[in-house]
């Protein structure tokens, strides 16, 4: 359905369940894909079935570290010449305590991993997109970005920051050829979530592969009129 031949997509968190699905979806549509991940080993084996000539693996990248990200983006530009699409799949979840019992470390961890990483990655790729006069940025927020809930204040605040960053960037760059949007997933059907919630009805959850198809849509020309959307993808829940 989608044709991303001669497009370059950069996917962060490529070893994660969603990241892997997004990488494979872009490769299946003809894109060249750069994959940033905190893992220092195992990336080659993880994607050994994909065509190596169109895949640039950059392991051991801390996407909360500005200098590390700038080096990795420069290496990607040297390999492919440009970055057309950025997909920020990196993120984390911690919850279960009210605010007065939530460690400051949890707040800092979530703000760094969810919000700071999105800010730094976007900041690093936007100049190249501006030079090309086009680009797509797709962020992964959460339903908690639009409505907080008890015992998950730090997580909700960090995802809300991603949503506000998405809206602000969309307003800043929509007349300069860059689309910025975010997806708000519900529970994603992963082995980890199944283990954590074994009594749930997994058929109601959204799969990483379905999420990846939504990413492809937002990266496509069909989504060119869409700026600053916070797109709920909750599955059947």
Q: Which residues are catalytic?
A: 155
CA angle at residue 96 from 186 to 163, to 5 degrees?
A: 40
Residue 213 in tokens: 């198809």
Question: How far apart (Å, rounded) are the C-alpha atoms in residues 174 and 135?
Answer: 10
Q: Cα(first)–Cα(last) distance of the chain, in Å? A: 27
DSSP output for 161-187: HHHHHHHHHHHHHGGGTEEEEEEEE--
138: Cβ contacts below 8 Å, ≥ 6 apart: 85, 86, 87, 88, 181, 182, 183, 215, 218, 219
8-state DSSP, 114:
I
Tokens of 200: 């749930």
Q: Is residue 35 within 8 Å of 57, Cβ to Cβ?
A: yes
* Helices and strands (DSSP H and E) totals, the chain: 8, 7
């Amino acid at each position: 359905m989608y044709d991303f031949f001669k497009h370059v997509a950069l996917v962060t968190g490529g070893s994660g369940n969603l990241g892997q699905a997004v990488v494979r979806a872009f490769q299946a549509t003809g894109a060249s894909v750069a994959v940033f991940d905190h893992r220092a080993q195992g990336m080659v084996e993880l994607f050994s079935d994909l065509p190596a000539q169109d895949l640039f693996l950059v392991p051991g990248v801390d996407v909360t570290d500005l200098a590390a990200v700038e080096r990795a983006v420069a290496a990607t530009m040297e390999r492919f010449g440009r970055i057309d699409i950025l997909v920020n799949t990196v993120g984390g979840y911690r919850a279960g305590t009210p605010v007065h019992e939530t460690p400051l470390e949890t707040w800092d961890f979530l703000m760094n991993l969810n919000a700071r990483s999105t800010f730094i990655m976007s900041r690093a790729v936007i100049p190249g997109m501006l030079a090309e006069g086009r680009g797509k940025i797709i962020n992964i927020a959460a339903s908690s970005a639009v409505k907080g809930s008890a015992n998950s204040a730090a997580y909700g605040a960090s995802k809300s920051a991603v949503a506000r960053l998405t809206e602000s960037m969309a307003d800043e760059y929509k007349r300069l050829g860059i689309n910025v949007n975010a997806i708000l997933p519900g529970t994603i059907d992963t082995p980890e979530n199944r283990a954590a919630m074994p009594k749930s009805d997994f058929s109601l959850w959204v799969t990483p592969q379905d999420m990846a198809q939504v990413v492809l849509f937002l990266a496509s020309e069909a989504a060119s009129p869409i700026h600053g959307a916070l797109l709920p993808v909750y599955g059947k829940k």
